[in-house]
Structure 1
């Protein structure tokens, strides 16, 4: 069951082209048409429900929002308002959430299913407990691509209990896990250092420029570890289902007790070999899940201008609250602004107290 805060956050989501919202009773005709369309069950025709079964499924969707605080969303086109499908996650066994996406045929071929699935996995990672998985027919190449672009990896063959004999093989996919880390052992230290160096060489804005000696990066890593040992910082690691470290960040607390309710996000990094897999967004979502559990109420971060990160962070509710022109000298003749952004941990808008 979702917390009240999670349900509030999940009720209405927006992506660049889509709106994902809690279903209403008036959505029934759209859902019935969607789930009884033979064209949408080409890879599993036996799974297409009757109209009565589809109606019962829609009632389950509605009631789950009331009892669990989340379920599948109605997906609509933000430009036209047209309802084009459903997508989301729902419980599928202990500790597991099933990722689902089904869009009308007219919406196919535009990357909209990928956009919806990516948003669903990110939202679930931030707000819901459980491992996010999807079961996909091996013949359904488009659905496999959608799962992979949303961040999921194949973890092995599987099937549904109601799959008939001869219905074709299926593969289970799982999203990466994001976890708090309070101490690095030798193996994890080498993994974080290697990741940091790879991101630096790819031009990532993580404190260094390409060509920085590995020893300098290692020294900064040691500084972060000292903060972790003091209890003023912790790491957040993103690992694939196979256990590979593909993302990392730190939350740090300022020593000043007047600022103890805030946390600063440092060194958000994703392995360059995994770009385009939704991993950066999943790492941010997991970091946001970890921060309030540590007592954080206000989240802050900084980045250097010219990196394109401002738009990325704005997607997660961050607002620019400060900018120092030319404060960062990347190279001779290349001065960048030092930009600060912030958001409330629970996602509420930032509001000043009005005092001078």
Structure 2
């Protein structure tokens, strides 16, 4: 499935640039207030900014993805640009690029659009890693890269750096890949992650305080299903040191009439990195793996009272069922068992009118 050319976030529409965006693009890339950290990086003329604009449109024509123009839902005004581009054919990575108009800074829009861009790349553009090249002096952009889920992995000298200018820091998104079995080191990291997630209040199949032995038994059961081919693990790993950051399971049921569907189980990311977009990146990788398996519909269960429904809604899921009070967390504390579903072809879910 090709990447969608237009993507909606909570406050923004991200779309390919059209001819009518030229003036807004030039103004954005010729405003010295947004280049305070590197004045020499600003387009040296309106003509140079226009060349960048046309190159961006050509990138879309050639590759089917690129840097979006971000416009506000309310006014339709262009607030900035964001997206991914191949800097050159030999770079072997996608560069996460984002720039906000000066008057739109400070409202979290950069984080919103960069998080969406990174997740979109993990889901639809897995051929190349996702990176951002940022000067450490540009602290707002550093925060944006970190908030999008990227980590520091090294440095890189850019072609337009001044002779005495420090290199840019390279930030890279974690990987998320299908795994059919766990080696000993990976298994131990997953067990640690599961225990820490549960202890931090995550809804991952246990009540608070579950023993490590109980979690180990559940992990062993999952491994048995993996051996039988009924379950696949999606493991998220750090780009910096390959440690396990997240985990999700895709489970197939025994009913052949449901062979085009899977259940997503035990979604978890490192509790120490909450707020860093890892969950969104993990779900994006899970969707990519499911599509590769030929899956059309994904469902998952959510425990009410955790606030996670909003997260899954942002990942494209919709509530499709609810059993009231089915989850007894503690005596007198009963939660709803909510089923949420997403079609991976993004067709609208509609009930069958036949009784």
Normalising by structure 2, report the TM-score. Answer: 0.96
Q: Does 1:54 align with 2:49?
A: yes
Q: CA deviation at 1:94?
A: 4.7
**Cα distance in 1 between the residues matched to 2:339 and 2:75:** 35
1:37 aligns with 2:57: no
Aligned to 1:19: 13
Asked if the contact 1:135–1:159 (Cα under 8 Å) also holds between the matched residues in 2, the reply is no
Equivalent residue, structure 2, for 1:174: 172
For 1:345 and 1:108, the matched residues in 2 are separated by 33
Residue in 2 that maps onto 1:243: 242
**Greater CA drift, 285-294 or 85-94:** 85-94
Distance 2:314 2:162 in 1: 43
Match of 2:296 in 1: 297
Cα pair 1:328 1:336 within 8 Å, conserved? yes
Determine the C-alpha separation between the residues in 2 that align with 1:259 and 1:235: 19
Structure-1 separation of matches of 2:144 and 2:2: 25
Asked if 2 retains the 8 angstrom alpha-carbon contact of 1:199 and 1:206, the reply is yes
How many angstroms apart in 1 are the aligned matches of 2:243 and 2:281? 15
The yes-or-no answer on 1:308 pairing with 2:302 is no
2:196 matched residue in structure 1: 198
Which of the residues 2, 6, 16 maps onto 1:6? Answer: 2
Q: Given that residues 161 and 167 in structure 2 are in contact (C-alpha distance below 8 angstroms), is that contact kept between their aligned partners in structure 1?
A: no
In the aligned structure 1, how far is the partner of 2:210 from the partner of 2:166?
51
Q: Distance in 2 between matches of 1:350 and 1:109?
A: 37
User: May I ask how many residue pairs the two structures share in their alignment?
Assistant: 350
Shift of 1:167: 2.5
8 Å CA contact 2:71, 2:79 repeated in 1 = yes
Name the residue aligned to 2:66: 71
Identify the residue that residue 104 of structure 2 maps to in structure 1.
107
Kindly indicate whether residue 123 of structure 2 is the aligned counterpart of residue 121 of structure 1: no
Residue of 78, 84, 108 corresponding to 1:83: 78
Cα distance in 2, alignment partners of residues 263 and 333 from structure 1:
32
1:116-265 equivalent positions in 2, closer than 5 A: 116-129=113-126, 130-241=128-239, 242-265=241-264
* 8 Å Cα contact 1:44-1:167 kept in structure 2: no
- CA RMSD for the aligned pairs? 1.2
Q: Deviations over 1:136-156 (max 9, x none)?
A: 112111111111111111111
Q: What is the alpha-carbon distance in structure 1 between the residues aligned to residue 113 and residue 344 of structure 2?
A: 24
User: Partners in 1 of 2:328 and 2:180 — Cα distance?
Assistant: 32
- Between the aligned partners of 2:213 and 2:277, the Cα distance in structure 1 is 30
Shift of 1:115: 1.3
Distance 2:143 2:346 in 1: 31
Q: Give, in angstroms, the shift of residue 346 of structure 1.
A: 2.0
Q: Deviations over 1:225-273 (max 9, x none)?
A: 0110001111011111121211101000001111111100000001110
Secondary structure, aligned partner of 2:58: helix
- The CA deviation at 1:331 is 0.7
TM-score (norm 1): 0.95
Q: For residue 29 of structure 1, report the CA deviation from its aligned partner.
A: 0.4
User: Runs of 4+ in structure 1 displaced over 4 angstroms?
Assistant: none
Rounded to whole Å, the distance in 2 between the matches of 1:333 and 1:138 is: 51
